[in-house]
Structure 1
């Protein structure tokens, strides 16, 4: 089970926290091998960037190395695949989504002493680079391209509507627990799409250790139990959601579903 607390996550690299999450959901993930691969990437990057005279040129070279020479890229064809949220698969396929690619790039940047941090921007995970006495720069980890503030605003408008604005809070560096929490949500969503309900249930159980008695997470867990045909347990979760959120539009539908469960023969699991 995922037994790291917020303080634990903040004292390690983001990729390490994400890897611990990966292993908790899918124990077959080989943590030692993943860390070995990451270490090899760092050593290669350190050797190839050693000749660069300053940090800014080192970072530019790292981006070229990561996206061009090593071939990491955003998965355009299967964006919602669970392969894009498990670090071992991201390293194997050299493909991912912003948060997984960003975590690998962030790991390398930090190991190289570069001033890069992660941001859970409302639309996607991005990286910010804070050079001394210069304006902050932003990177889209999906393709390694720089993102202007006007582009960030356009993303926000597309997300929240024409009156949306980018606040300073939106572009501040995020702590690891926040990023890992969002990573977990993306992972659960991907596994549900693939009907990997047993793994999705592990995600839901982990989420409830982080935010106990969250009615929406309990509702989602009920849905997963329903797919696993554990109807009595699903009904318990649905009842909790209905009690906590009686005005939510889903409550009316779930009341009908609970009634169906109650009228059906009990199946023991």
Structure 2
């Protein structure tokens, strides 16, 4: 169980190797920004309780795919975890404490629950940063089982995976090599950055610049060289009137990425705010 109490310190995360990043612990740390009284032990116990309920049933199954089917049946049918199709962009779908409490989430947060429970009972379930919706994968004797946590853990065959990827690849379905690369397990850091990027997108769309900026800042705590987060924090600072922070972040973004597709737009924002010349050296 990688939930720790007390939760890790944001200032220490950038220096940690990926394997040392506690996935659930940092996911709950993200939630603590919004829910300062959050008790991580409560959710560690929920994961352990789910695992304890499953162990007898799993002991009766010999094949990993059948064990995984039993886990999905329990989580999605008995306990009632479900994808929030009606309010997909509700930020509560990204906060792991809310997902445990409400049994509702988005693909990524439901995958985190699914992965935590599977790993607690010894199944090596990994996340996949698939284009569009986050997925999970489990190595099995004859290949790989890929599942959709947003739709009750439904298994996906190769044809459906190709069709799902096609919409995000300019209309071209990936070949075997490309699909294999897409299905590579996501690192803990990449998963946690994606949680925060999802939150940033939701809050930016709502014009909630304080929370959007916080989300971008937390990405930089995990991945200091993330260019999108540097730009987004700078834009957030600009919207909030923190001009010194905006100047520093946006100038750094342009200096590091002068050929970025949005470089001209970012430069214009600096000029309009009276924070920079037309050309940055």
SS at match of 1:76: coil
**Which consecutive residues of structure 2, in runs of 5 or more, have no partner in the other structure?**
1-8, 276-281
Q: 2:72 aligns with which of 39, 63, 75?
A: 63
The residue correspondences of 1:149-164 to structure 2 (distance < 5 A) are 149-164=158-173
Of 50, 72, 76, which aligns to 2:85? 76
- Unaligned runs of 5+ residues in structure 1 are 264-269
Tell me how many residue pairs correspond in the alignment. 261
Flag the 1:259–1:128 CA change in 2: closer, same or farther, 3 A: closer
CA RMSD after TM alignment: 2.6
Equivalents in 2 of 1:247, 1:172: separation in Å?
Answer: 29
Compared with structure 1, are the counterparts of its residues 57 and 202 closer, same or farther at alpha carbon in structure 2 (3 Å cutoff)?
Answer: same
TM-aligned CA distance change 1:259 to 1:11, over 3 Å: closer
Contact map agreement 2:162 2:179 (CA 8 A) in 1: no
List aligned pairs for 1:91-102, cutoff 5 A. 91-102=100-111
| Aligned counterpart, 1:188 | 200
- TM-aligned CA deviation for residue 191 of structure 1: 2.7
Alpha-carbon contact 1:25-1:203 (below 8 Å) kept: no
Paired with 1:50 and 1:66, the residues of 2 have a C-alpha distance of 13
Normalised by the length of structure 1, the TM-score is: 0.84
What TM-score comes out, normalization by structure 2 length?
0.81
Give SS of 2:210's match. helix
Q: Pick closer, same or farther for the CA change 1:124–1:50 going to 2, 3 Å.
A: closer
Contact 2:148 2:155 in 1 (8 A): yes
Aligned 8 A contact 1:99 1:183 in 2: yes
Q: 1:135 to 1:51 in 2, by over 3 A?
A: closer
**127, 130, 140: which one pairs with 1:131?**
140
1:201 pairs with one of 198, 205, 213: 213
Check conservation: 2:14, 2:221, Cα contact below 8 A: no
Distance 1:5 1:259 in 2: 32
